[in-house]
Amino acid sequence: MVRRVTPLFPLAILRRIFPIAVVLIFGYLGFTFFSKTPEEEAPERPPPALPVVDILPLSPTEHTITVRTRGAVRPRTVTPLSPEVAGRITEVTSAFRPGSFFQTGDLLLTIDPLDYETALAVSRADVASAQATLQDETARAAQAIDDWKRLGRSGTPPPLLARTPQLAGASATLQSAQARLRQAERNLERTALRAPYSGRVLEQNADVGQAVSLTTVVATIFSTEAAEIRLPLTGEELTLIDVASRPEVTLTGPGGSFAGTWQGTIVRTEGSLDEQTRQLFVIAEIPAPFATKPPIEIGLFLEATINGRTLKNVYVFPASAIRASGEIILVTQENTLLRQEVTPLWIGTEHVVISADSIPQDTSLCLTPLAFPITGTKVSPITSSAASR
């Protein structure tokens, strides 16, 4: 008996699945083939961009140094005023009050003149008496000489006979009396205390009713002809100023009600260094400080700018261009960086001055801050709008 084998899948089902499977296989193969693209060649990388820097062309020039300092205004002439005679003050004028102005010869105060008027009267009487005594001795001497001649004697009579010593004594007594008279007149004049110069009262120490002596300081006054200001300078700054040429100095007030600008002149230096700061002070003189508008008040703190020496064949550029290491960055004609160590002749608040001989020629100053500049690095320079002075 023949056994019939039954197929695993019916042929009808295989006929339906087979075309679908063929389509799927060929679809996948086609998608895979067409989805592949030829490998693209890696593009060539452009060379790295050069760093862009601002440069300042350098050209030698002349530069006048200006030294900045500060100080307080003080009077040039200060006088502790004392009377030349003793007594009680009977009057003070308005010019004697603190802050008051006065002119040469103005009356400041009066001391009781009664005792000095009495002394003057006594001195005048002494002069009159001495004159009478001298006239008497002169007559006696003349009479003695006549008697000598009347006796028939020739030659000059002896001094005692001619009363020469008595005549000399009377003459000396008169001269002494006249000197005491002049002293009494001066003492009476001195009871009126007058200003020795044009100035201002700084401090008043006496008033009406107070008894004063020759050693009593009745006031402190100062002259308004000129004022001074002490300006400290370091040794380096002093070498940049020619004090002998009396350089000009511009003084500036602190602002507000004391705003203003005044001109002065450096007239001298002090004789020694300050023991604490080790600085030397120069003295600037300001003529007629109270005649200016606004006037300069004593004790006012001022900023000073002194015109110093003129340096030739130098470069002047911003102080910010000097690095902490004392170097500057230059750009050569080949547009490469060059680190250059320099020693400034002068460093100001905004600018620095360097000798032109210390920098290679045909180079420019790099103004762009660079973190790690290396000599020989290529750069793309752009000329800065700042102009070399």
Q: Kindly indicate the confidence band of residue 319, based on its pLDDT and cuts at 50, 70 and 90.
A: confident
Instruction: Report the CATH number of the 78-106+196-221 domain.
Output: 2.40.50.100
pLDDT at 30 over 70: no
**What pLDDT, on the 0 to 100 scale, is given for residue 13?**
64
Instruction: Report the CATH number of the 47-76+225-389 domain.
Output: 2.40.30.170
Among 92-106, 110-124, 268-282, where is mean pLDDT lowest?
Answer: 268-282
Segment 211-220 mean pLDDT = 95
Instruction: Give the separation between CA 327 and CA 325, rounded to whole angstroms.
Output: 6
Instruction: Give the separation between CA 76 and CA 341, rounded to whole angstroms.
Output: 47
Domain extents in the chain? 47-76+225-389, 78-106+196-221, 113-190
b/e per residue, 81-116, with b = 16+ CB within 10 A? bbbebbbebeebeebbeeebebeeebebbbbbbebb
Instruction: Give the separation between CA 97 and CA 20, rounded to whole angstroms.
Output: 127
**What pLDDT, on the 0 to 100 scale, is given for residue 248?**
92
**What pLDDT, on the 0 to 100 scale, is given for residue 361?**
85
**What pLDDT, on the 0 to 100 scale, is given for residue 1?**
45
**Report field, pTM of the whole predicted structure over 0.75:** no
Closest residue by Cα to residue 167 from 179, 159, 157, 156 = 159
118: which residues sit within 8 A by CB, 6+ positions away? none
Closest residue by Cα to residue 191 from 102, 294, 88 = 88
Segment 11-18 mean pLDDT = 63
Q: Give φ, ψ of 12 to 5 degrees.
A: -65, -35
List, for residues 343-362, the tens digit of each pLDDT value.
888 887 788 888 888 888 88
Instruction: Give the separation between CA 262 and CA 281, rounded to whole angstroms.
Output: 20
Q: Kindly indicate the confidence band of residue 193, based on its pLDDT and cuts at 50, 70 and 90.
A: very high
281: three-class secondary structure by DSSP? strand
Highest mean pLDDT out of 213-217, 356-360, 385-389: 213-217
Instruction: Give me the residue label for tokens 């001066």.
Output: 186
Segment 25-39 mean pLDDT = 62
Instruction: Give the separation between CA 150 and CA 376, rounded to whole angstroms.
Output: 127
- The DSSP H or E segment spanning 64 is strand 61-75
Per the structure block, which two tokens stand in for 29?
């193969």
Instruction: Give the separation between CA 69 and CA 303, rounded to whole angstroms.
Output: 6
Segment 28-36 mean pLDDT = 62
222: three-class secondary structure by DSSP? strand
Share of the chain above pLDDT 70, in %: 87
Among 119-133, 154-168, 310-324, where is mean pLDDT lowest?
Answer: 154-168
pLDDT at 246 over 50: yes
Share of the chain above pLDDT 90, in %: 42
pLDDT at 160 over 90: no
Residue 241: Cβ-neighbour burial (10 angstroms; 0-12, 13-18, 19+): buried
Same fold, 47-76+225-389 and 78-106+196-221: no
List, for residues 135-150, the tens digit of each pLDDT value.
988 888 888 878 787 7
**What pLDDT, on the 0 to 100 scale, is given for residue 164?**
84
Pairing mode, strands 52-57 and 380-383: parallel
**What pLDDT, on the 0 to 100 scale, is given for residue 44?**
66
Instruction: Give me the residue label for tokens 């006979």.
Output: 161
Segment 325-354 mean pLDDT = 87
Question: Higher confidence at residue 205 or residue 275?
Answer: 205
Segment 308-313 mean pLDDT = 88
Per-position DSSP letters for 65-125, written without gaps between them: EEEEEEEEEEES-EEEE--SS-EEEEEE-GGGSTT-EE-TT-EEEEE--HHHHHHHHHHHH
pLDDT at 9 over 60: no
